Amino acid sequence: MINKSLKQLGAMLQGKEISSVELTQEFLNRIDRLNPEINAFITLDKDRTLSQARRADEMLSAGKGTALTGLPIGQKDIFVAKGWRTTCGSKMLETFIGPYDADIIERFDAAGAVNLGKTNMDEFAMGSSNETSYFGKVQNPWDRNRVPGGSSGGSAAAVAARLCAAATGTDTGGSIRQPASLCGLSGLKPTYGLASRFGMIAFASSLDQSGPMAKSCEDMALMMNVITGFDKRDSTSLNREKEDYTRALNKPLAGLKVGLPKEYFAEGLGPEVAKVVQEAIVEYKKLGAQIVDISLPNTQLSIPVYYVLAPAEASSNLSRYDGVRYGHRAKEYGDLMDMYCKSRAEGFGAEVKRRILIGTYVLSAGYYDAYYLKAQQIRRLIAQDFENAFKQCDIIMGPTAPSTAFKTGEKADDPVAMYLQDIYTIAVNLAGLPGMSIPAGFAPSEDGKRLPVGLQIIGNYFDEARMLNVGHAYQQVTDWHTQMPEGIE
Ligand code: GLN
């Protein structure tokens, strides 16, 4: 049961083989048993969760069920949910209770899905290993001594350990795709603007986007149908006609032009990852794809550009946590300025402070042109690289991350090594494009563990239905996505 897809579980609910209350209870029991170590969920509210399950059962009995009715979903703790503690992985919001629902929470609610609980994450979504959460690190279910990736590491570990059938994530520079890759899942970051950012705690607003993390592309398509859609409360939300993301799942791939960027297979890519990705490409050739060599010449600039722009936006977004309106306030202080300083010094962790300092610096008078403006110009060039590439191919493929899951603590003291985890994912956010990671196989670790490897699939703007088709076709002829870590039975 625990390894079934959303699609299969949905069919069982519709066919009354199981009730939502029973299904939800089964996952809650697993959370009780496995979460104390894995630490994927940081807030549970069983009464609330079970009352949603009862409501779902009523919807199903009344014949009012949707594809997701009754299915328990883990929600990244970056989404404000009414009545739920919402922390964004920070001490700053340790006791903050959501006064309203984020758009995405409302949408799942309207579909009759069940909120199983809030998942752990790097503090304010800054990180690639889930080691910066105030609520402790998360274990990778494939090897408990390794990181699950970040920042949506709690969601990734929860799905990998089968504590839920699917979860939500957010991706500013890779935070859906990289943990999906490290935990053997499917994860999709939609085109910027497709999913509303209303009620999603802001990190870098021009890059942040929410998306599904699940076992298969088919399940992600069902979730995309819920997540996407216009929201007037988010000024960057796109007013487009609603799409059905399942519509193209079964199209044959014959003639599909797959671009392989040479920069994604150059120095820096771990040989164990390269091998698995190459094997996946061979599989795509068998499915009828045509391989095209392409170049994304500004790839190397994406990390420096991101680490100017994202901290700049973060320094501005995080100025709201001043101890006045909500969030942590220092117990003892002198005047108002002292209250601001102490509250922020106590409430934020080291990585968040580093970003605020960098962001404030690059935006300061005298440096603005040299850093911020320059970075904006290069951002445009990076987007142009993709525009040119998509004249030659339909889809771009490559690795999601340069390595498999690394050991806990291994990169914790070396921010630059940590930032390099996103070398293949960040450009996609800078360009606003959709990107996805799917499980493509395993590589052995030096200590003999099987570690998942992700294949990244990048599409043109609004081409998510095709990306899901491309991923689904592969998942019909491989079984990487159905494999479970040992020891979580
Ligand atoms: N790892 C990147 C960072 O630390 C991306 C995070 C994200 O996508 N939220 O900023």
Sheet (strand 41-43) strand order: 41-43, 114-119, 72-76, 166-170, 210-214, 186-189, 435-444, 450-459, 395-399, 257-261, 290-294
Indicate if 7 belongs to the active site: no
CA 280, CA 399: separation in Å to the nearest integer? Answer: 10
| pLDDT tens digits, one per residue of 176-189 | 999 999 999 999 99
Rounded to the nearest whole angstrom, what is the distance from the C-alpha of residue 310 to the centroid of ligand 1?
Answer: 9
The structure tokens 């594809």 sit at: 67
Contact 73, 154 (CB under 8 A): no
Residues 6+ apart with CB under 8 A from 12: 4, 18, 23
Rounded to the nearest whole angstrom, what is the distance from the C-alpha of residue 371 to the centroid of ligand 1?
Answer: 19
Question: What number does the ligand 1 atom closest to the CA of 421 have?
Answer: 1
Question: What number does the ligand 1 atom closest to the CA of 174 have?
Answer: 8
CA 44, CA 405: separation in Å to the nearest integer? Answer: 27
**What is the percent of the chain where pLDDT is above 70?**
100
CATH architecture of 6-255+468-482: Alpha-Beta Complex (3.90)
- 211's enclosing H/E stretch is strand 210-214
Q: What is the DSSP letter of 309?
A: H
Rounded to the nearest whole angstrom, what is the distance from the C-alpha of residue 39 to the centroid of ligand 1?
Answer: 20
Cα–Cα distances (Å) from 271 to 277, 401, 481, in that order, read 10, 12, 21
Question: What number does the ligand 1 atom closest to the CA of 351 have?
Answer: 4
| pLDDT tens digits, one per residue of 259-296 | 999 999 999 999 999 999 999 999 999 999 999 999 99
Rounded to the nearest whole angstrom, what is the distance from the C-alpha of residue 207 to the centroid of ligand 1?
Answer: 10
The pLDDT score that the predictor gives to residue 42 is 98
Pocket of ligand 1, candidates 422, 423, 430, 456: which has the most ligand atoms within 8 Å of its Cβ, to mutate?
A: 422
Tally the C-alpha atoms within 13 A of residue 73's C-alpha that lie toward its C-beta.
37
Beta bridge partners of 43: 118
**Ligand 1 proximity of 201 Cβ (cutoff 6 Å):** no
**Ligand 1 proximity of 418 Cβ (cutoff 6 Å):** no
The structure tokens 């995080």 sit at: 318
Pocket of ligand 1, candidates 77, 79, 126, 132: which has the most ligand atoms within 8 Å of its Cβ, to mutate?
A: 126
Beta strand residue intervals within 63-141, DSSP E: 72-76, 114-119
Q: Mean per-residue pLDDT for 302-317?
A: 98
Domain ranges of the chain: 6-255+468-482
Q: Which of 19, 151, 210, 343 is catalytic?
A: 151
Q: Which of 133, 155, 175, 302 is catalytic?
A: 175
- Is residue 455 very low, low, confident or very high in pLDDT (cuts 50, 70, 90)? very high
The pLDDT score that the predictor gives to residue 4 is 97
| pLDDT tens digits, one per residue of 107-151 | 999 999 999 999 999 999 999 999 999 999 999 999 999 999 999
**Ligand 1 proximity of 351 Cβ (cutoff 6 Å):** no
Whose Cα sits closest to atom 10 in ligand 1?
126
Tally the C-alpha atoms within 13 A of residue 119's C-alpha that lie toward its C-beta.
36
Q: Mean per-residue pLDDT for 59-80?
A: 97
Rounded to the nearest whole angstrom, what is the distance from the C-alpha of residue 29 to the centroid of ligand 1?
Answer: 31
Pocket of ligand 1, candidates 172, 406, 420: which has the most ligand atoms within 8 Å of its Cβ, to mutate?
A: 172
Q: Mean per-residue pLDDT for 393-408?
A: 97
Instruction: Quote the mean pLDDT of the chain.
Output: 97
Indicate if 445 belongs to the active site: no
**Ligand 1 proximity of 131 Cβ (cutoff 6 Å):** no
CA 359, CA 482: separation in Å to the nearest integer? Answer: 41
Q: Which of 5, 19, 76, 302 is catalytic?
A: 76
Q: Mean per-residue pLDDT for 363-378?
A: 94
Residues 6+ apart with CB under 8 A from 17: none
| pLDDT tens digits, one per residue of 324-344 | 999 999 999 999 999 999 999
Alpha helices in 150-242 (DSSP H): 153-160, 177-183, 217-227
201 token code pair: 């705690």
The pLDDT score that the predictor gives to residue 93 is 98
Nearest to 60 by CA among 27, 13, 25: 13
Angle, helix 374-389 to helix 302-317, in steps of 10 degrees: 130
| pLDDT tens digits, one per residue of 23-54 | 999 999 999 999 999 999 999 999 999 999 99
For residue 432, the Cα-to-chain-centroid distance in whole angstroms is: 15
CA 73, CA 384: separation in Å to the nearest integer? Answer: 37
Q: Mean per-residue pLDDT for 85-107?
A: 98
**Ligand 1 proximity of 310 Cβ (cutoff 6 Å):** yes
The pLDDT score that the predictor gives to residue 168 is 98
Asked whether residue 489 carries a pLDDT value surpassing 90, the answer given is no
